[in-house]
Amino acid sequence: MSLIATETVPDALGHFGAFGGRYVPETLMHPLQELEQEYHRSRQDPEFQREFDYYLREFCGRPTPLYYAERLTRELGGAKIYLKREDLLHTGAHKINNSIGQILLARRMGKTRIIAETGAGQHGVATATVAAMFGMKCVIYMGAVDCERQALNVYRMKMLGAEVVSVKAGQQTLKEAINEAMRDWVTNIRSTHYILGTAYGAHPYPLMVRNFQRVIGDEARRQILEKESRLPDLLVACVGGGSNAIGLFYPFLNDKDVQMIGVEAGGEGIEAGRHAARFQGGSLGVLQGTRSYLLQDEFGQVQLTHSVSAGLDYAAVGPEHAWLRDLGRVQYTYATDDKALEAFSKLARLEGIIPALESSHAIAEVMCQAPKMSKDKLIIVNLSGRGDKDVSQAAPKLNIQMPV
Ligand SMILES: *Cc1c(COP(=O)(O)O)cnc(C)c1O
């Protein structure tokens, strides 16, 4: 493998090779440029980094442990498995890393109102949380179907003082929520910052979100060197838009012996409309500000998607992942709903950890890989979030009933 130009990508216009860029209506060009400039200024400002580190540590609970999953390792009988415990962060997933970074930027730009989209509700909760903490007004857009399947998170956002708008257009999930958030942003640009929740969208979002999430990989690298005195052989993470995966992978991209697998949502199988695995049957296109792989029909209409986990249920994937996949640096596979549920249950019973359904897709892939690897190999899997939000959805599927 040749070295990857991680420091020079994306280019000044936000391109990762043939992917990325900025495809937005004219009215959004100026705010995106303003955001980009302020972001670059913040990177030169040690005070910004100091504050970011402070809130990650004192408010969110970083660093998160790199935990040796001893019973899972023994059960699978192969490679030694470490869990990167993003599930232990305040609000329950990695999303808060990015929300803290972006609200600090919003404050620097003098914004007083925050908007965001959310799928599973984890990004909505993280954003409502930081908005409350910084005393800003907050509106969260969420598809009506997602509101229903993640009701707990809707209540949490409201308790935190956010307004939750249930979006009833189209498939009533994440894509429609992003459309509404962009519409709001165009209308309220002066007062409002849009905290996008994943490594997706128009430049500079994919770059900025990756850099706010790379703390996951930076910590994991330090921690595995402390515990094992060497780098891991394999990294595994689930891929929705791609922020938890790129956060873990990025600091290892130039370590040529570290293999990486991103796991997409295979839903009910790879058949049009039944999954959200963009690298299985997706093609190059433009959606919501960026150029990447997406699930579309021959007329360029975005296809329906399905996943048991709302957080992976999106028709396109972040541009940096599309690039890494074309380079052959990262492998991408998928786990079906059934495999993810099996992994969900297994981790709960073997390790006493109920994972998010999204993260369960990564665990499912570890269950395939670990037995094929020898006992001296090391795997790090990103446990991107906890499963509290998913219990009411998973219970009937796992045939778990209330005692009578
Ligand atoms: C949102 C979410 C994801 C998917 O988003 P990425 O940007 O791909 O990380 C994965 N896991 C959890 C727990 C989430 O909340």
| Residues 334-358 pLDDT 10s | 999 999 999 999 999 999 999 999 9
Atom of ligand 1 nearest to the CA of 240: 8
| Pairing outcome for strands 234-238 and 378-383 | parallel
Contact 159, 121 (CB under 8 A): no
117: annotated active-site residue: yes
Atom of ligand 1 nearest to the CA of 244: 9
Q: What's phi and psi for 166, nearest 5 deg? A: -85, 120
Report pLDDT for 251.
98
Catalytic residue among 117, 180, 351, 365: 117
CB atoms within 10 A of CB 54: 12
Identify which of 312, 317, 344 to mutate to test ligand 1's pocket (most ligand atoms within 8 A of the CB): 312
Atom of ligand 1 nearest to the CA of 86: 13
C-alpha dihedral, 99 to 101 to 103 to 107, nearest 10°: 180
Residues 6+ apart with CB under 8 A from 287: 175, 294, 302, 315, 316
Q: Six-digit token pair at 354? A: 């109920």
Report pLDDT for 108.
97
Q: What's phi and psi for 160, nearest 5 deg? A: -80, 0
Where the chain has pLDDT below 70, the residues are 1-3
384: annotated active-site residue: yes
Residue 38 beta carbon below 6 angstroms from any ligand 1 atom? no
Report pLDDT for 310.
87
Report pLDDT for 6.
75
Report pLDDT for 176.
94
Report pLDDT for 206.
98
Q: What is the C-alpha to C-alpha distance for residues 386 and 159, in angstroms, rounded to an integer?
A: 20
* DSSP conformational letter for 282: -
